[in-house]
């Protein structure tokens, strides 16, 4: 379980230093999320709400529930996001998810903090809270096939990314149909859809 203390004051500079393609990853997550005009969204590991804000801007009819383990990051999200369209909940990805159902579950740069079995278990629980036809959009760090594609420093304590192929397999085992929306070096955006 991660003990890293997230600080919304330093979050943007940390991302700029460690994940130089953070803005592109966010753009790709927002584009994948906006497809199909979902109205009921669950954001897992919402942090300070920077990606949720992009998604809500693209989806003016949508309402979003954000979950995060850091009360400091949630306080920053509360200050950023429209309270009429957003609910925030302190909680961990390892715990039971809000029941939903949701037509979009999204997560950016949070799932890589879980180990392999933790990711597989989370993907199964996500499938359980998606509406038929609903989608899970995952934008995250992956272990690239070529080690020279590693950009972001990984400590293998708080950060435990998995390969793209492993994550696609676990999503398929959860009953979701997957496609890779975007990949560059050690970043990827996966879209995983539940059957109608």
Ligand X SMILES: C[S@@+](CC[C@H](N)C(=O)[O-])C[C@H]1O[C@@H](n2cnc3c(N)ncnc32)[C@H](O)[C@@H]1O
Q: Which of 70, 167, 178, 193 is the binder for ligand X (CB under 6 A)?
A: 70
Residue 65 lies near ligand X (rule: CB under 6 A): no
Convert residues 2-31 into a mask of x (bound to ligand X by CB under 6 A) and - (unbound). x---x-------------------------
Rounded least distance, CB 5 to ligand X, Å: 9
Q: Which of 47, 11, 13 is nearest to 29 (CA)?
A: 47
What token pair was written down for 140?
A: 């995250």
Q: Which stretch binds ligand X (CB under 6 A): 64-72, 125-133, 148-156, 161-169?
A: 64-72
What's the CA gap between 157 and 151, in Å, rounded? Answer: 17
Asked if residue 184 lies in contact with residue 21, where contact means CB atoms within 8 angstroms, the answer is: yes
Q: Which of 113, 119, 135, 194 is the binder for ligand X (CB under 6 A)?
A: 113
Q: Are strands 102-108 and 187-194 parallel, antiparallel or unpaired?
A: unpaired
The separation between CA 59 and the C-alpha centre of its own chain, rounded to angstroms, equals: 17
Convert residues 72-91 into a mask of x (bound to ligand X by CB under 6 A) and - (unbound). -x------------------
CA distances from 2 to 99, 145, 155, 180, 188 (A): 24, 25, 11, 27, 22
What's the CA gap between 36 and 10, in Å, rounded? Answer: 34
Rounded least distance, CB 47 to ligand X, Å: 2
In the complex with ligand X, the residue whose CB is nearer, 72 or 133, is 72
What token pair was written down for 7?
A: 């600080």
Rounded least distance, CB 19 to ligand X, Å: 8
Q: Which of 62, 65, 110, 130 is the binder for ligand X (CB under 6 A)?
A: 110
Q: Residue with CB nearest ligand X?
A: 47
The residue whose two tokens read 């998995």 is 162
What token pair was written down for 28?
A: 């790709």
- Interaction site with ligand X (CB under 6 A): 2, 6, 45-47, 50-51, 68-70, 73, 92-94, 108-110, 113
């Amino acid at each position: 379980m991660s003990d890293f203390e997230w600080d919304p004051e330093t979050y943007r500079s940390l991302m700029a230093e460690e994940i130089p393609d953070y803005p592109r990853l966010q753009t790709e997550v927002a584009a994948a999320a906006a497809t199909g005009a979902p109205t009921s969204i669950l954001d897992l590991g919402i942090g300070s709400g920077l990606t949720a804000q992009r998604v809500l801007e693209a989806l003016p009819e949508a309402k979003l529930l954000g979950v995060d383990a850091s009360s400091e990051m949630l306080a920053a999200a509360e200050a950023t996001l429209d309270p009429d369209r957003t609910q925030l909940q302190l909680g961990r990805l390892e715990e039971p998810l809000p029941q939903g159902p949701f037509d979009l579950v999204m997560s950016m740069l949070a799932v890589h903090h879980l180990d392999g079995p933790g990711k597989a278990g989370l993907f199964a629980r996500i499938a359980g809270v998606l509406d038929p036809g609903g989608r899970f959009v995952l934008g995250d760090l992956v272990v690239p096939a070529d080690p020279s594609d590693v950009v972001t420093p990984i400590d293998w304590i708080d950060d435990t990314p998995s390969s793209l192929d492993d994550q696609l397999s676990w999503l398929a085992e959860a009953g979701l149909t997957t496609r890779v929306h975007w990949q560059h070096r050690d970043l990827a955006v996966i879209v995983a859809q539940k059957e109608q």
